[in-house]
Amino acid sequence: MTASDRLHALGVAELVDGYATGRFDPVDVVDGLLAELATIDHEAHGVVTVAADVARRGAEASARRWAAGEAGPLEGVPFGVKDNLATAGIRTSLGSERWADWVPERDAEAVARMRAAGAVLVAKTATPELAFGDARPGHRPTNPWAAEHWTGGSSSGSAVSVASRILPVALGTDTGGSIRVPSSYCGVTGLKPTRGAVPTDGAAVVSWTLDHVGCIGRSAADLGTVLDVLRGAPGHRRDGVAGLRIGRPMAWFHERVDDDVRQATDAAVAVLEGLGATSTEVEVPDPDLGGIAAWVITVCEFAESNADWRDHLGRYTPASAERLVAGASLGAGDYLRARRVRRDLRERVGQLLEQVDVLVTPGTPTAAPRVVPPLDDLWGDGDRLWLERVARSFILFNLLGLPAVVVPAGFTADGRPVAVQVVGRAGEDDLVLSVAAAFQAATAHHRAAPGTVTLTAAPAPTTDAEKGGRMGP
């Protein structure tokens, strides 16, 4: 495979510029991508289904629109779609035995908007069952930075396909960290927009009040272009961060955080300060309580949205079954109390965000942990460890519906990516992306690809908390 065959390894902006200047066209890019997909292990690279005929037709149509001067904002850009988002005429299995043969008649709204903007659908990407259960065979991608380490979930296939330079961008969903966890572990940029900014129509429901549709790509600048398409309106991103007030949540957000991640977060804030921002330490109210409330709401709504689960219990993976039973076992009082917690925290965190413009937190508390197959039996209490050791920086912002982006921020000594998160006020997705883009303009972490950072042997895990685990929401 020559460099010219890997045009799909370029980012969104580079592809669009290449098309606009006539250096190559969408057919060149998609032909090279499909040729590579024909030679690799699809599962390892996060791909579940290759939509070759759809991709070729899409590339040819895009080439005609470029020639006619009718190009859309993502014209000819290949993209992947998490396998819990409906794609018309293309199998959408939800990572589940029960839905293994489902072929939707319509695209999810986010997919439809991508295609209307000229993006070329090439592949469906791996997800654990229903984006909330265990990963079934065929849906277990390999971390391209370190094969014995976890990819995170549940938008695992989208993150891996982008990190592997197979796709420039992919859609994902995020209920409790599912875009940001695999983006952190796989060294890519992942955006969870403000709740409601991007329609969730056509996405399999985990939690109808916490689900978000977002995207994973090479850079915040690329994701800004994609976000404009997904929300149906152009953004107004600022140039630089001069004068912005950064809040640095401490306490909970820095407990159980590895030194590599803590140092990367400190360094990221220092970079932003060097660009003209100011920072202050802040205390986010009751993030641990917020995580518990989010989990109660999620399992209750998961059970309700799969209301016929009792008739099909034997066809679900163990984690899905456990969470369905848990959600059905909770009472209305538990659910309503969790919603009251959300209402209270929304007000209190809103008051905090009146004092600062954005929050900068660690991404995942650790780099990707080592895993030992089978994935189904890694953690004794995977739900608690998801809250306390994997998504502790993330899940509160699902509960509150705030925009959050994860960006690569460095590497461990053995070459695994670490990340930081930028969070903003509801509706201020453009500001969050502006901060991330400014950081990436001043650093090169996001440009590193697997194989460009030397990996050394990592010690075997000594405790359950150091191991990987079930895919979370």
Helices (H) and strands (E) in the chain, counts: 14, 11
pLDDT in tens, 72-127: 999 999 999 999 999 999 999 999 999 999 999 999 999 999 999 999 999 999 99
Per-residue pLDDT band for 386 (boundaries 50, 70, 90) equals confident
CA distance 386 to 152: 10
Q: Tell me, what's the pLDDT at 437? A: 98
Half-sphere exposure of 303 (CA within 13 A, CB side): 19
What confidence tier does 382 reach under pLDDT thresholds 50, 70, 90? Answer: low
Side-by-side strand order, sheet with 278-282: 47-50, 120-125, 78-82, 169-174, 212-217, 189-192, 404-411, 417-424, 358-362, 245-249, 278-282
Q: How far is residue 285 CA from its own chain's centroid?
A: 25
User: CA torsion angle for 274, 278, 279, 280 (degrees, to 10)?
Assistant: 150
pLDDT of the residue at 427: 98
At 465, the pLDDT band (50, 70, 90 cuts) reads: very low
Give catalytic status of residue 82 as yes or no. Answer: yes
- The residue from 62, 93, 154, 164 that is catalytic is 154
Least confident range of 2-16, 117-131, 437-451: 2-16
Supply the pLDDT for residue 461: 38
Residue 6 has pLDDT above 70, yes or no: yes
For residue 393, indicate whether it is catalytic.
Answer: no
Sorted by where each starts, the structural domains of the chain and their CATH numbers stand as 10-466 (3.90.1300.10)
Active site includes 178?
A: yes
Mean confidence (pLDDT) of the chain? 93
**Catalytic pick from 82, 124, 192, 467?**
82
In b/e form, how buried is each residue of 6-34, taking b as 16+ CB within 10 angstroms? bbbbbbbbebbebbeeeebbbbbbbbbbb
Task: Report which DSSP code applies to 233.
Answer: S
Q: What is the DSSP string of 368-429?
A: PPB--S-GGGS-TTHHHHIIIIISTTTHHHHHHT--EEEEEEEE-TTS-EEEEEEEE-TT-H
Helices (H), ranges, 244-367: 259-274, 287-305, 318-329, 332-352
From 62, 93, 155, 178, the catalytic residue: 178
Distance (Å) of CA 278 to CA 249, 269, 272: 14, 9, 8
